[in-house]
């Protein structure tokens, strides 16, 4: 089973989990996986890797950087065995990025072996990270540390953590989008909401007043006797005011409606 096939996302904290798992649980599974790999018990190794992928979404605490690195290292071993060299190299690079100086045990990857060539195949200095949008609350953790950058070509352990609560965890393959989470402004924007509403109300008042003035001026064009507002210039001014205020009302009302529907700035 490849990393891409085994990736599991958690749209809600511990969704579908019989019980929460911890970083210590992952370490135990990692040890079992490496022991099986060293003993060439590949079926057992694949099963432990599958167990690891199932355990990540159920994490109740933050994964440690070294644990994330070892998880990527095990993923590299599996990818190499399946002849997915690109994924193996990306996973090894992710392990080194998560924990600088990380190396696989010599009992697993011997120096000079065909597998060891791929451990340092990717130069981390040549891989440009991309920014990650912070959440509306809490923080995003990538491979065991809080951060706002991600190398999209590498697998990564994603976590959304707020205080002591892990909202969600996921082991993502290279290129996979981050799971959805509340971003700043989602459901917020109260200040903008009020400003648009005030503008709409003010424009309504001006429009109603201009309409009333327009109705009052209209008889001046047909009355024979004296008129309070007899000249066409005044009527033109009132009409102009009515047009501008109507446009303002439409703009403010449309903007406020759009904000209400999207909930975004």
Question: Considering only CA atoms, which of 213, 203, 205, 191 is closest in space to residue 244?
Answer: 203
**Do 94 and 118 form a contact (C-beta atoms < 8 A)?**
no
Structure token digits, residue 34: 């490496």
Q: Which residue has the higher pLDDT, 130 or 243?
A: 130
pLDDT value of position 189: 42
Q: Which residue has the higher pLDDT, 110 or 210?
A: 110
Instruction: Determine the 3-state secondary structure of 1 from DSSP.
Output: coil
pLDDT value of position 96: 97
Q: What is the pLDDT of residues 34-92, one digit of tens each?
A: 999 999 999 999 999 999 999 999 999 999 999 999 999 999 999 999 999 999 999 99
Question: Considering only CA atoms, which of 146, 66, 140 is closest in space to residue 100?
Answer: 66
The beta strand positions in the chain, using DSSP E, are 130-131, 139-142, 145-146, 149-150, 156-162, 165-172
Percent helix / strand / coil, the chain, rounded to 5 = 50, 10, 40
Structure token digits, residue 256: 């406020």
Q: What is the pLDDT of residues 168-191, one digit of tens each?
A: 999 999 999 999 999 887 554 444
- Rounded-to-integer distance, Cα 248 and Cα 228, Å: 28
pLDDT value of position 111: 86
**Predicted confidence (pLDDT) at residue 18 exceeds the cutoff of 80:** yes
């Amino acid at each position: 089973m490849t990393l891409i096939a085994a990736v599991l996302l958690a749209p809600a904290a511990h969704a579908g989990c019989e019980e929460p798992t911890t970083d210590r649980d992952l370490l135990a599974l990692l040890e079992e996986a490496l022991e099986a790999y060293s003993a060439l018990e590949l079926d057992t190794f694949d099963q432990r890797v599958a167990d690891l992928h199932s355990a990540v979404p159920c994490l109740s605490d933050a994964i440690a950087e070294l644990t994330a690195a070892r998880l990527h290292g095990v993923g590299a071993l599996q990818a190499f065995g399946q002849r997915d060299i690109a994924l193996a190299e990306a996973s090894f690079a992710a392990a080194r990025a998560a924990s600088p100086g990380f190396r696989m045990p010599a009992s697993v990857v011997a120096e000079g072996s065909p597998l060891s060539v791929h451990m340092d195949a990717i130069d981390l200095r040549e891989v440009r990270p991309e920014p990650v949008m912070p959440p509306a609350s809490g923080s995003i953790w990538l491979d065991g540390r809080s951060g706002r950058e991600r190398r999209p070509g590498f697998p990564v352990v994603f976590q959304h953590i707020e205080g002591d609560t892990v909202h969600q965890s996921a082991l993502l393959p290279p290129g996979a989008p981050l799971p959805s989470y509340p971003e700043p402004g989602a459901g917020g924007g109260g200040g903008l909401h009020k400003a648009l509403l005030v503008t709409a109300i003010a424009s309504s008042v001006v429009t109603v007043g201009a309409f009333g003035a327009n109705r009052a001026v209209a008889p001046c064009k047909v009355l024979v006797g004296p008129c309070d507002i007899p000249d066409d210039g005044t009527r033109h001014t009132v009409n102009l005011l009515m047009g501008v205020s109507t446009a303002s009302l439409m703009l403010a009302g449309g903007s406020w409606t759009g904000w209400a529907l999207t909930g975004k700035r």
